[in-house]
Amino acid sequence: MLSREDNERLTRVGPGTPMGELMRRYWVPAAYANTVEQPGGAPVRVRLMCENLVLFRDGSGRLGLIDERCPHRTASLYFGRNEKDGLRCVYHGLKFDANGHCIDLPCLPQANNAERTNIQRELAVKAYPVIERGGVVWAYMGPLEHKPEFPDLEWTRIPPAHRFATRHIQECNWLQGLEGGFDATHLTFLHGGDAEPSRRLVATMYEVIATDFGFVVGTGRDPGAGKDIMWNLNVMLMPFHKIISSIPAAAHVWAPIDDENTMLYSVDFIADRPLTEQDLKRSTEWRGIHTENAPGSDHAIRTKHNDYLIDRSLQASGASMTGMKGLGTQDCAIQESMGPIADRTREYLLATDTAIVKIRRLLLQALDNHAAGKLLPGMQPSSYRVRSTRFEAPKGAKVADTMVERVRAAAR
Ligand SMILES: [Fe+2]
């Protein structure tokens, strides 16, 4: 159970909120780069942490991420005409470059040069730095003096043919997604029908360790009969990345659209070689972490508005716990069912929720540290050179002490 105040502190992400300000100290994904490939092509709407923005690549190839509102009469720049050197508001012709500067004010021919310069300076719009990495356009929305270098996130450093990436909108708060990602017990139940047999064993051991990149969550399953404990180490990279220790590996990024909506980026990848047809089969048949979306849309076909196309007879048959197709849809369904922002004051947590409790504590600690001006985890790009991994160890072995070492050693 969490206090109402702490639940608010952890979940709200708008400007000025504790978590919103913490997240703004990191690079956050704005869009897949292929949606703004063409110089002078159509702008893309981006809503990130409660801010409405427009992403565009001007005619000369420069990327800009600026406030969606034209500061003149607040019309949307999404409808703007994308020109060689900027985006022109179609209402009265004001033009803004990728830095947010107003570079043309054609609706005011009577102004002299000094007046024009002055007004244009006042008409500048908010613009955020962007960078392209791993087929994604990332934004930095925090104070410029704190802008970190882009982290060495493994899946962003490999050739495009080594990964398969999708994204979809979850109609709930980002933390429900992140907590779900580190909830080892649900694998056995929610995904029971689809899961590999080795995962049907409930994890009974939990270790969560704070690191210089975020934290590492270890969950141990005891197969019994005196066999070694099966440990699974999952890394959480600040502020909202998870890497799954499967083959192909899988990355999740829970980027908040606002307090009640999340853009979940899902990436299957193999660092050392291109994905094969075999690797891709599970993903593209929508049985894995990806959801099948309506063509050209970030909305899944199976949503809360159609009860995720639940098949009750499949559920009754025992072949699937949920009767819903694919891990991604199952996660989305159950996380959304907790409400737009889960009321954590109403929970009754069990011993199997130990990892969740520790994760919340670490996130609250990060908020305190940020407020106190202390150094945040993940500011060193090389700290992200880690990999989630699995191993076996004798019962009683002191695994916690070796977890950080192990996820570092597993990285390339
Ligand atoms: Fe799941």
Are 95 and 194 within one domain? no
Instruction: Give the pLDDT confidence score for residue 412 in this predicted structure.
Output: 76
Are 104 and 71 within one domain? yes
Q: What is the sign, positive or negative, of the torsion defined by CA atoms of 57, 61, 66, 69?
A: negative
Are 122 and 240 within one domain? no
Which CATH number do you get for residue 319?
Answer: 3.90.380.10
| Distance (Å) from CA 181 to ligand 1 centroid | 6
| Distance (Å) from CA 185 to ligand 1 centroid | 9
Q: Would you give per-residue pLDDT tens digits along the chain (412 residues)?
A: 799 999 999 999 999 999 999 999 999 999 999 999 999 999 999 999 999 999 999 999 999 999 999 999 999 999 999 999 999 999 999 999 999 999 999 999 999 999 999 999 999 999 999 999 999 999 999 999 999 999 999 999 999 999 999 999 999 999 999 999 999 989 888 988 654 545 567 888 999 999 999 999 999 999 999 999 999 999 999 999 999 998 899 999 999 999 999 999 999 999 999 999 999 998 899 988 999 999 999 999 999 999 999 999 999 998 899 999 999 999 999 999 999 999 999 999 999 999 999 999 999 999 999 999 999 999 999 999 999 999 999 999 999 999 999 999 999 7
| DSSP H or E stretch at residue 406 | helix 403-409
Report the number of distinct structural domains present in the chain: 2
| Distance (Å) from CA 312 to ligand 1 centroid | 20
| Distance (Å) from CA 340 to ligand 1 centroid | 18
Number of H helices, E strands in the chain: 10, 19
| Distance (Å) from CA 362 to ligand 1 centroid | 21
Is 142 inside a domain boundary? no
Q: Structural domain of residue 217, as residue ranges?
A: 154-409
Is 147 inside a domain boundary? no
Report the C-alpha gap between 349 and 340 in whole angstroms: 20
Are 222 and 97 within one domain? no
Contacts made by residues 354-359, CB under 8 angstroms, sequence distance 24+:
354/206, 354/208, 355/182, 355/183, 355/184, 355/206, 355/208, 355/217, 355/219, 356/179, 356/182, 356/183, 358/206, 358/208, 358/217, 359/178, 359/179, 359/182, 359/208, 359/215, 359/217, 359/236
| Distance (Å) from CA 344 to ligand 1 centroid | 19
Tokens 């141990």 correspond to: 220
Say how many C-beta atoms besides its own lie within 10 A of residue 114's C-beta.
8
Which CATH number do you get for residue 46?
Answer: 2.102.10.10
| Distance (Å) from CA 34 to ligand 1 centroid | 28
| Distance (Å) from CA 376 to ligand 1 centroid | 28
Are 178 and 274 within one domain? yes
Instruction: Give the pLDDT confidence score for residue 193 in this predicted structure.
Output: 67
Question: Cβ distance 139 to 129 under 8 Å?
Answer: yes
| Distance (Å) from CA 192 to ligand 1 centroid | 10
Are 296 and 337 within one domain? yes
| Distance (Å) from CA 13 to ligand 1 centroid | 23
Is 16 inside a domain boundary? no
Are 116 and 262 within one domain? no
| Distance (Å) from CA 46 to ligand 1 centroid | 26
pTM exceeds 0.75, yes or no: yes
| Distance (Å) from CA 387 to ligand 1 centroid | 19
